[in-house]
Amino acid sequence: MKTNKTWKAVTACLFIALNLTFVGCSNDDDSTDDGDSNQDVSYLVGAAVDDEGYYFTTDNITSGSLSIQGNGAEGWATISVTVDGYLYIVNNTEGLTEKFELTENGPVKVDAISNAVLAPGAFFRYIQATDSGDLFLSSSPEKESGQMPYGIIDLDTFEATGHGYIDFPEVNGKVNLWANGLVSNGKIYFGSLYGEPSWANLEENLITVAFDYPSITSPKVLESPASAGMTAGYRTNGTFATETGDLYQYNITSSLWYGNEEVADKPSVFVKIANGDYDDSYILDVSAHFGEPVTIWNAWYAENGIAYANVVRAVDVPEWGDLSQNTGTLVEIDLYNETITELNLPKAPFVNIFTLDCVENGNFYIPVSIAGGEANIYEINIDGGANGFTKGAKLDGSNVYVDVLQKVN
């Protein structure tokens, strides 16, 4: 349905009114050192309650309950990242990228930069902390021009060091419709979707476009025949790096995304990029495991080759709104050994979780917000099997939706 694409492109925050943002975990023990206000902070939690956003700090998500309303600061932390005790939020409403210090009394705003300095009039959809010591902000290519707005902010100075618009090369006469980049070893790899501007005649291969970083020069088109569809990801980045230095990537094939059936029969897969190009010898076929059409709507990397994916059966989501029902299955993906394990967690609408980056002592933490039911944080033992998890802190109220979980330190 074409209206779906329009809805996604201009109202990414609609779900925020129903969501709870969850940011933060630290591998450090609590400390009583009064000289460091971040030492007692393990987590930053944000939430939407009655169409109002809140985010606050806490030191416990594994037991008890978390009261959301009236705590911390008002606002949204959906498009955000945490680095060394600071939270960086893209505030598209105010046209700012904001920097907050995370303290035991909540986040404290310490700086901001105008997004108009980066790309005038741009709406930024994605933010990441790169391995080059900066923040990279971007969005999908603009429909009319085909250019993608971006900005680079130095973490030490909190000043813009690169900005503007990126021109992507055409592929077989088609343009890049959606992109999200990952910086790795002096390159930025943009998972992409190529087709006609109307989102018809989609490319039949998986496509990534690599540039030198931070100069954003020397574009190189990478193509894989493993499947088709979008490699940029939706809420999450479709590409992530592992400890080996290789990149792994999943694709989105659902007709709900494209408004047509062109790639709906293509398999949902994980593929690998090694030494700057696709490794055609590696294909982890998730559709084959399920034996029916499925779509990977989100995936998050944990550690040691283990990722977690939100897999939705096509038969369960005839309409877009069904993605926000209890249709998601959490799956553990062993990328190195190429195995797939369905976890016996309750089904939930995992599709709107933007970021999960919380790993401690061999555990991965994820919110499970059951539509019409309970919402809890779950502690999952990495590579612990289908039942290797424990229910953690309860979130007050029904239908509270967690959408971000990141490390504080």
**Which tokens belong to 375?**
């919402």
pLDDT along the chain (409 residues), means of 10: 36 36 47 42 73 78 81 82 92 94 87 92 92 95 88 96 95 96 97 95 97 98 98 95 97 94 96 97 97 96 96 96 95 98 96 84 91 90 96 78 74
Q: In Å, what is the CA distance from 263 to each residue of 10, 268, 293, 386? A: 24, 10, 11, 30
Q: Note whether residue 21 is domain-resident.
A: yes
228 touches 253 (CB < 8 A): yes
Strand partners, 277: 274
Q: Note whether residue 42 is domain-resident.
A: yes
The predicted pLDDT at position 30 comes to 63
Q: Note whether residue 87 is domain-resident.
A: no
The predicted pLDDT at position 41 comes to 61
Strands (E), 286-403: 294-303, 306-313, 328-334, 339-342, 355-357, 359-360, 363-369, 375-381, 389-395, 401-402
| Beta sheet of 206-212, edge-to-edge order | 175-184, 187-195, 206-212, 217-224
Task: Count the domains in the chain.
Answer: 1
C-alpha–C-alpha distance, residues 367 and 181, integer Å: 25
Q: Note whether residue 372 is domain-resident.
A: yes
CA angle 71, 84, 366 (to 5 degrees): 60
> Scanning the structure block, which residue is given the tokens 């496509």?
207
**Helix segments in 104-208, DSSP class H:** 115-118
Q: In Å, what is the CA distance from 173 to each residue of 202, 208, 261, 374? A: 11, 16, 21, 49
SS3 content of the chain, % helix, strand, coil (to 5): 10, 45, 45
C-alpha torsion sign, points 368, 241, 80, 90: negative
Q: Which is nearest to 341 in space by CA: 351, 330, 327, 349?
A: 330
Q: Note whether residue 16 is domain-resident.
A: yes
End-to-end CA distance of the chain: 42
Domain that holds residue 395: 1-78+354-409
49 touches 395 (CB < 8 A): no
Q: Note whether residue 358 is domain-resident.
A: yes
**Which tokens belong to 65?**
């309950």
Q: What is the pTM of this model?
A: 0.90
Cβ count near 156 (within 10 Å): 7
Q: Note whether residue 197 is domain-resident.
A: no
> Scanning the structure block, which residue is given the tokens 């998730």?
286
Q: Note whether residue 314 is domain-resident.
A: no
Question: Tens digits of per-residue pLDDT, 305-339?
Answer: 999 999 999 999 999 999 999 999 999 999 999 99
